A and B are shown apart, each in its own frame.
Chain A
Amino acid sequence: MIKREFKLSLVKIGKFIVVFLIADFLLGTMSKQLFFNQETGKYARSTHAIKKSEDNVLIFGSSHAHRHYVPEVFEKELNKTCYNVGAEGQQLLYHLALQQMIFKRIKPKLIILNIDEGFLYSSKEAYDRLGDLHPYYEEYKDELRPILGLQSKLIDFKLFFKSYQTNSTIVHALRYHLSPQIDYKGYRPLFGKVALTNKSKMLKVNRREIDSNFVTALERFIDSAKKNDVDLVFVTSPKFDPIDNSENESFKKIMNIAVNENVTVMDFFNSKQFLNQNDLFHDPSHLNDDGAKLFSKAVANKIRNLK
């Protein structure tokens, strides 16, 4: 009697798994098609960089990279093709993953990594947002496993399902299909000016714990660039207010690593050219289009002078 019940349960579970796997395959394949056919939006930009870009100069970083580096300016000043793969809200683990996937296909001549001063501080969001890499896992397992493995030990099991690979991407895909998000080789300008306040304030980054995974990610990022013979430059973006990094352990560690690894650093924090220039900022942390063009030109000039 009991055996019959077990047998029945096993048969039913088996049938359910088969039906589910078929549904997962069919619906999952459709959603992956939809995902990789996006022409605009953040996923489209990443996919372009990974699968299509042949550019000489690639710009990595968070929203500061995405909004501050104008490829057109770099192309004109350096006479090299350029693409901006900056991704809003993303941090070092994501940038490393992107770099590894890109290196599988091409080796650019130069990579600019825009450094955020708190890059090494622990951040739950940095791990949560790695979900943006899931759609690429099937094709880039070797590159992504060490990074996604930090988020979950069961990554191979989870990403076996196509449904999970494209988890919650459909609204994004449909949204930018219906209303394309224009970008200029990965750069999206911000417009408007930051409101002027009476008093300029000194910014300080709150002390947090350093995440050793982020330190390793930065070291790997440098190491991969060296091994692939790709020039690497670290740049810090200007801010509207002055910033005091004297007690910022994250920033100090990044600078130490850069010095030890012989990576050129271009520090635009507290740059007089930008400080308190409200005409150049969209908000206290982001340059507007005018500011971005001016900043891009300044960075390009410095890079040219390196040679």
Chain B
Amino acid sequence: MLFNSFEFFFFLSIIFVAYWFIAHERIKLQNILLLIASYVFYGWWDWRFLSLIALSTITDFIVGHKIYNSDQKQVRKKWLWVSIFFNLGLLGFFKYYNFFIESWIDIFTSIGYELKSTWTLQVILPVGISFYTFQTLSYSIDIYRNKLKPTADFVAFAAFVSFFPQLVAGPIERATNLVPQFLKERKFTYQAFSYGIKLMIWGFFLKLVVADRAAIYVDAVYGNIENHDGLSFIAATVLFAFQIYGDFAGYSLIAIGTSKLFGFDLMTNFRRPYFAASVSEFWTRWHISLSTWFRDYLYIPLGGNRAKKPRWLFNLFITFLISGLWHGANWTFVVWGALNGAYLILEVLIFKKNRKGVLNVLLTFVLINFSWVFFRANSVSDAFYMIKKIVTVPGRLYIGSGDDIAASIYATLAIAILLMVEFKKEYFDNVFSISKHKFEWVRLMGYAVLVYMILYFGVFDKSQFIYFQF
């Protein structure tokens, strides 16, 4: 089920009423309701893959207890490896199996040996597998590190793994933050309810107006690169920067807002990333739940920045390389990750102190956009073709044909609104705010107009969220 569908609107209304009016003040019943709702939400897409979530849940529930109940380091470690192998095994098979087989065949082909591709399988990538496997892994690892006690409440744990607002595209919650929330009573407050709705409205604006409008131009250019030149590639890449931001930050806000309706607090996932003055700062603002996951469970265990400089730089690079691969089984994502790793290494080597100022913000935006070319291109060779054309053949700027022209105009207007809102939030947070205005009618009108804009300018029934494929 998609957030941007009317089915979700009805689903959410039913669950909300049942949760607060039927299961009210009965934590166990509320958790059962959330668990069923989450499985229905996921099963709406493909019920067969519910078994994977169930398996992952059972495995980590058992592993958590086994780790916690043992005093022997070797035994604890053994059980931790069970969780790691199981979760990464699922991910590896469903997401990377064909990619590695095909890459292996390509390597042999490039050195003159023709291998027949009989090993590749028709594997469907289960939606959200990258997210929930990382979330359950964090549970086992945190118990291993004595940061968390395993819960004895299986239903609460299962609801944590499959919690529908963030099941398929994050934020990737830490067990230390989310599991305890399933074990305590949730209180309904007007403040949380209102804030949740506001976050959802803004999330829908980002998704339906910013991202989906930009996508029309981006797809027209990236899907047909032979017929476009450098200027169009630049325009499409800048629009893609906002498309992916609107898409993913929009999803995160809807997820966080939805969770608030049920009394849960999820972590912030995006903090105005395009106002970052360096690439390292960008990564403290972009997909924060994943960046911090990799920081805590990969980068720091590798030695982080406490090792000698060459090792530190290696740690940085390898973390981003793997982060790139996490995003998709394609060399474009690997190059994208490597490029971001290289940016960070260069920043460590060249700049001694934190950078600030408009020029640095612009430079960072350009660097990030350069990396987006690889992220969005259909292949690495397509990305190089586009970069070559950007440098050598600026050509004519494609402005779209037919309805595409209108889509580009709507996207540009929506991005302008987004930038104004974020600029104000970044630099003048206390100056003026519609959402905090003293007059209620101003607040109501502000949000009514925003909802009107979503319905009037939004793209409906046409698109999934980009991050579903990861």
Contact = CB atoms under 8 A, between A and B. Distances in A.
Contact of B447 (A16, A157, A166): A16
Interface in A43-96: 88-89
Interface string A1-26: 01001101100100110011011100
Interface residues of A, number: 33
Interface of A is mostly: helix
A5 B189 contact: yes
B447 A168 contact: no
B445 A19 contact: yes
A168 B461 contact: no
Contacts of A202: none
Given A23-B445, A167-B455, A154 B462 contact: no
B463 to A, nearest CB: 10
Interface string A166-180: 111011100100000
Contact of B188 (A5, A24, A31): A5
A9 B194 contact: yes
A139 interface: no
A19 B188 CA distance: 24
A31 to B, nearest CB: 7
A23 B452 contact: yes
Nearest to A27: B452
A151 B6 CA distance: 12
Nearest to B191: A5
Nearest to A26: B452
B456 A20 contact: no
A151 B461 contact: yes
A138 to B, nearest CB: 15
A161 B409 contact: no
Contacts of A228: none
Contacts of B460: 158, 164, 167
Contact of B448 (A16, A88, A154): A16
A15 B190 CA distance: 14
B190 A12 contact: yes
B20 A6 contact: yes
Contacts of B407: 168
Interface of B: 6-7, 20, 24, 187-190, 193-194, 402-403, 405-407, 409-410, 440-441, 444-445, 447-449, 451-452, 455-462
26 contacts: A5-B188, A5-B190, A6-B20, A15-B444, A16-B444, A16-B448, A19-B445, A22-B448, A24-B448, A27-B456, A89-B402, A128-B461, A152-B461, A157-B6, A158-B460, A161-B455, A163-B455, A164-B460, A166-B456, A167-B457, A167-B458, A168-B457, A170-B456, A171-B410, A172-B403, A175-B406
Interface of A: 2, 5-6, 8-9, 12, 15-16, 19-20, 22-24, 27, 31, 88-89, 128, 151-152, 154, 157-158, 161, 163-164, 166-168, 170-172, 175
